[in-house]
Structures are given as structure tokens and as C-alpha cells.
Amino acid sequence: MSEAPSPNSKAVPGTKSRFCVQCGTALLLRPSRSSAAVRQTCPACQVTVYDTPSVVVATLPVTEQRVILIRRATEPGHGKWAYAGGYLEAGETLEAAAIRETREETGLEVRIAGLLGVYSRPGGRSITIVFLAAAERDDWAPGPEALEVKAFEPGQIPWDGLAFWTVTYALEDWLHVCERELSLPSAWRVGPPRL
């Protein structure tokens, strides 16, 4: 049922939907009117399906100048170290989602301390937003998606065992903030989170 994209159009990578979410009709590929992209459109109700990236939110909780990481119990990155994080759910604020994911994966209640970084890359399938957080206590316990939870001093970070490039970037940014005693973006409204 799908039409071949025009040879001059760039295909959108990774599009998963094949049927219209509104009426179930098989989607067709059509060139965008405003860009070189090929969009999936429904021939019945004319809906365009945008292949937008997912939003991942995460925290780097810090306690006594040590950063708390999890060793992942799931793929991708099984057995490697990462921040506590996951996908933003519809209707959630970024801050609430980051706090929830941290609680689920580490058992920790954290307070958002600031926006550490926003990360994307060409061809990537997600946008990752990492908050710096303060751990209220240090009685962490791994949740179902973590094999281990551990606090690392800056000199102990397991750089060769990190799960994702975004984890590397976020930890580098944390060290940059620590070493220069930088304050996090003041233009951005930081907590208390509006849950």
C-alpha cells in the first residue's frame, strides 16, 4: 500500500507506525511540503504522523560530593553504569518524571537542584534532559531495573563502563560544574518541582 518516496527525498529513519492511530488505515509515505523529509500520512483522514524523538529525563543525585549511579539490569547497556532515568510519560512535568524514575531505580527521594544538560545527536532517537539532584538520604536500594546502586567520588567514575554517550557527557558536565563551582542556569526556573 505504501508509495515509494521520491528519489530526491530523504527518508525519515526509524518510523515505526504503519497504520493511522485514528482510523487504522495503512499510512502512505508522502514528501513534506516544507522540507526534504518524507512524512507518513493517512489517506483517509489526512493526518500526518511526525517521527518525533522520545524525551528521556534523568538525574545525577549527589550526596557528600559523590554522584550516585546505577548499574543497569536492562538492555541497552545491561551491566553498565548510568544515571537513573527513563521516558517522560504524557502529562508529567520533566521534574516529576526525573524524580519518579530516580525513586523507581534507586529507592532515593531526591530534590532537583538544577538543569545540568540537554543532549541530542544527529540521527538520535531521543532527547535526554539531565537534572542535578540532591539525595535527601543515602539509603539507596536498587529497583527492578538496576543491578546495583553506588556513589562515586569524582576520581572514581567508571568512564570505561558507562552505558551511553549521554551519561559520559552528563558526568563531564557535572565535573565541570563542580571544578569551577558554577551555578546552574539561573534563567531556568529551578524547583521546587511543580508536580
Q: What's the number of CA atoms in the CB half-sphere (13 Å) around residue 186? A: 2
Let me know: does 144 contact 73? Beta carbons within 8 Å.
Answer: yes
C-alpha to C-alpha distance for 176 and 190, rounded to whole angstroms: 19
C-alpha to C-alpha distance for 111 and 131, rounded to whole angstroms: 10
Q: Does 118 bind Zn ion (CB under 5 A)?
A: no
Task: Please say which residue, 43 or 77, places its beta carbon nearer to Zn ion.
Answer: 43
- The interface mask with Zn ion, positions 1-30, x = CB under 5 A, is -------------------x-xx-x-----
Contacts of 141 (CB under 8 A, 6+ apart): 106, 107, 149
* Min separation Cβ 148 and Zn ion, Å: 46
Segment 22 to 81, residues that bind Zn ion, using CB under 5 A: 22-23, 25, 42, 44-45
Task: Please say which residue, 11 or 44, places its beta carbon nearer to Zn ion.
Answer: 44
Task: Please say which residue, 42 or 84, places its beta carbon nearer to Zn ion.
Answer: 42
* Min separation Cβ 23 and Zn ion, Å: 3
* Min separation Cβ 47 and Zn ion, Å: 5
* Min separation Cβ 25 and Zn ion, Å: 5
C-alpha to C-alpha distance for 148 and 91, rounded to whole angstroms: 30
Let me know: does 102 contact 133? Beta carbons within 8 Å.
Answer: yes
Q: Binding residues for Zn ion, per CB under 5 A? A: 20, 22-23, 25, 42, 44-45
